[in-house]
Amino acid sequence: MEHLASGNETAAIAAKMSRASCMPVFPITPQTEIIETLARWKANGELNAEFFTMDSEHSVMSAAVGCSATGARTFTATSSQGLTLMNEILFIASGMRLPIVMANVSRGLSAPITLWSDHTDFLNQKGDGWVQVHAQDNQEVFDSLVMAFKISEDRKVLLPSMVNLDGYVLSYTKEPIDVPTQKEIDKFLPPYKPKHAFFKPNKPLIQGAAVLKPEAYTYFRGQHHLANLNALEVIQEVCKDFKKKFGRDYGNGLIEEYKTNDADVIIVTQGSISTTAKAAVNEMRKGGRRKTKVGLLRLRTITPWPHKEVAKALQGAKHIAVFEKNVSPGRGGLMMSDLKASLYDHTKKKPIITEFVMGLGGSPESIQMFKHGVKLAKKDRKGEVHWLG
Amino acid sequence: MYKIRIHGRGGQGGKLASKIIGSAAFLEGHEVQDFARYGAERRGAPVESFVRIDKDKILERGYISDPDCVIVLDETLLDLVDVTYGLKKNGIIIINTIKKYPKFKKKGFKVYSVDAATIAMKHLGKPMYNTAMLGAFANISDLIDFEHIKQALQHEIGKKVGEDYIQKNMDAVHEAYEEVVMQ
């Protein structure tokens, strides 16, 4: 049934309907509404889960590791500074191969302090070995969280997943979402029954122990890497299954191509700015004699990085305009190196890439901004970098 | 697409007004999206909220800089904020006031006014101007009706305030619906 919900409410509904049974939590703007909603349901008996309020995000992720290591389906949510405070334990969660699912509501990092969304917080976690997807609207927040449990718990993957949604622009924006029945969700996502090592009282074991031999450590890191590469396949399978059951199509689940077939210029985006960029694509394609053949590539799966799919989507374009709502000082946008690596490995013709660092600390995007960007990209001969906003 | 921008001061219920318009329009069968500009929220600070209403799925997000309709909850903002910024030609501006604003009319906008302050004090006993302004908006836009406004109010604040207070708000909606006039 369709109803109106904010991105945060949507995430809470998805966690509840996925029957996550353990939820360690700590509040942080703009994510707090997720755990407030879950806490309200816990208090009035609607939520059948262990709900722990912890003293910090570091403790939240530590508790999540403990919960998941006992074989419990575990959910939590965070944002920005909270995510960076979890950093140490994020590597432990993925290294121990624990299928925790977390919603991260993106927000720029301090200093200076901002409450608004940009993507620096979670792109900064590119190396932690979590599976990461980025939603463009509230419907995708719901669908991605439900799918994330299935992907994470797959025996070929067994990795934690982070589903990113943009602060405010999705977290506090109400839009219509279609929520399946509990029965339909249960059929798609059966209870989690771990077959690998997990804690139980009658069988002592150690997880995440020290391996002082470098070859053992290398073995585990190699396995972790392979599991991430397996996720490229599993994400596609789960998206296909999801489409069959619920009718919503996320293609291969790795990238989304919008009107790229005949495009001379391709805009590259991720997250909620993508829908405004699509509206800009539609307008630019309308413009009569002055129309531009423009398309859009949306990066949906951030880790593992789908090199081949990205290169294939971009190979026909003359110009590429990358809009990055993040910055790594001294490097530039955090997606550029991955994007360029994909093109280097998988295409012969090298299109010119114009980079736009935009939307930092919630600086607003608009249809005009994307149109302006495409205009600059078409004139670019050397790969310029522009800061917008 | 129909785009609405609401200007108010923190505490006057501008954000709630955008939610109610969004919910009511959704109940009428439209695609909707509501959003607010957040800052260091405090009572009295200028705030803005936004609603988009369309028959198709809405792609555009964020601030609205080309509204079809502007709702001004507090006329003291008119000296501080350019509330008509980007307002489309023949665009609608609804102001909570008893004064005349010929300067907006001269610019080609359709100016409507309603004494939402008095209506709110009469029915609610406090300066929450949002619901009265909703009544004025319902009349002028013809996009939302009383029943759906009531359902939206029940959905958004019903659990907190109870049926009696919802009814007081609806009285304010009805009175402003009748009282709003074109300048």
ipTM associated with this complex: 0.91
What mean pLDDT do residues A353-372 have? 95
Q: Are A383 and A287 in a shared domain? A: yes
Of B19, B31, B59, Cβ closest to residue A276: B59
Whether the CB-CB separation of A355 and A332 falls below 8 Å is answered with yes
Q: Are A131 and A280 in a shared domain? A: no
Domain that holds residue B80: 2-182
Q: Provide the shortest C-alpha distance from residue A364 to chain B (in Å).
A: 7
What mean pLDDT do residues A310-336 have? 95
Instruction: Say which CATH number the domain at A223 has.
Output: 3.40.50.970
Which residue in chain A has the smallest CA separation from B65? A366
Q: Are A41 and A105 in a shared domain? A: yes
What mean pLDDT do residues B6-11 have? 93
Give the model's pLDDT for residue A347: 86
Question: Given a cut of 70, is residue B39 above it in pLDDT?
Answer: no
Average pLDDT of chain B is 94
Of A4, A116, A272, Cβ closest to residue B61: A272
Q: For residue A288, name the pLDDT band (cuts at 50, 70, 90).
A: confident
Q: What is the pLDDT of residues A299-316, one digit of tens each?
A: 999 999 999 999 999 998
Please report where in the chains the tokens 């950093």 appear, as a residue: A87
Instruction: Say which CATH number the domain at B111 has.
Output: 3.40.920.10
| Cross-chain residue pair B26–A366, CB shorter than 8 Å | no
Q: Are A318 and A233 in a shared domain? A: no
pLDDT over 70 for what percent of chain A? 100
Q: Are A264 and A237 in a shared domain? A: no
Q: How many domains does chain A have?
A: 2
Q: For residue B100, name the pLDDT band (cuts at 50, 70, 90).
A: very high
Chain B contact set for A276 (CB, 8 A):
59-62
Region class of A97: left (phi > 0), else alpha (psi between -120 and 50), else beta: left
B33 touches chain A (CB under 8 A): yes
Q: For residue A197, name the pLDDT band (cuts at 50, 70, 90).
A: confident
Give the model's pLDDT for residue A84: 98
Question: Given a cut of 80, is residue B134 above it in pLDDT?
Answer: yes
Of A176, A282, A365, Cβ closest to residue B62: A365
Q: Are A43 and A161 in a shared domain? A: yes
DSSP letter (8 states) at residue B88: P
Give the model's pLDDT for residue A389: 83
Q: How many domains does chain B have?
A: 1
Question: Given a cut of 80, is residue B5 above it in pLDDT?
Answer: yes
Of A115, A174, A276, Cβ closest to residue B60: A276
Domain that holds residue A279: 255-387
Instruction: Say which CATH number the domain at A302 has.
Output: 3.40.50.920
Q: Is A206 exposed, middle or buried (0-12, 13-18, 19+ CB in 10 A)?
A: exposed
- Give, in degrees to the nearest 5, the angle at Cα A96 between A94 and A102: 40
Q: For residue B36, name the pLDDT band (cuts at 50, 70, 90).
A: confident
User: 3-class secondary structure for chain A?
Assistant: CEEEEEHHHHHHHHHHHCCCCEEEECCCCCCHHHHHHHHHHHHCCCCCCEEEECCCHHHHHHHHHHHHHCCCCEEEEECHHHHHHHHHHHHHHHHCCCCCEEEEEECCCCCCCCCCCCCHHHHCCCCCCCEEEECCCHHHHHHHHHHHHHHHHCCCCCCCEEEEEECCCCCCCEEEEECCCHHHHHHHCCCCCCCCCCCECCECCCCCCCCCCHHHHHHHHHHHHHHHHHHHHHHHHHHHHHHHHHCCCCCCCCEEEECCCCCCEEEEECCCHHHHHHHHHHHHHHCHHHCCCEEEEEECEEECCCHHHHHHHHCCCCEEEEEECCCECCCECCCHHHHHHHHHHHCCCCCEEEEEECCHHHCCCCHHHHHHHHHHHHHCCCCCEEECC
Q: Provide the shortest C-alpha distance from residue A6 to chain B (in Å).
A: 9
B112 touches chain A (CB under 8 A): no
The residue among A290 and A184 whose pLDDT is bigger is A184
Q: Are A172 and A261 in a shared domain? A: no
| Cross-chain residue pair A278–B59, CB shorter than 8 Å | yes
Of B31, B36, B61, Cβ closest to residue A275: B61
Average pLDDT of chain A is 96
Give the model's pLDDT for residue A252: 97
Q: Provide the shortest C-alpha distance from residue B56 to chain A (in Å).
A: 12
Q: Provide the shortest C-alpha distance from residue A114 to chain B (in Å).
A: 10
- Give, in degrees to the nearest 5, the angle at Cα A257 between A251 and A260: 145
Question: Mutating which of A3, A4, A365 best tests the B interface, going by the most B Cβ atoms within 10 A?
Answer: A4
Q: For residue B41, name the pLDDT band (cuts at 50, 70, 90).
A: low
Q: What is the pLDDT of residues A136-190, one digit of tens each?
A: 999 999 999 999 999 999 999 999 999 999 999 999 999 999 999 999 999 999 9
Q: For residue A48, name the pLDDT band (cuts at 50, 70, 90).
A: very high
Give the model's pLDDT for residue A167: 96
Q: For residue B180, name the pLDDT band (cuts at 50, 70, 90).
A: very high
CB atoms under 10 Å from CB of A387, counted, come to 12
Give the model's pLDDT for residue A314: 95
Which residue, of A192, A223, A246, is where some domain finishes? A246
Give the model's pLDDT for residue B40: 63
B50 touches chain A (CB under 8 A): no
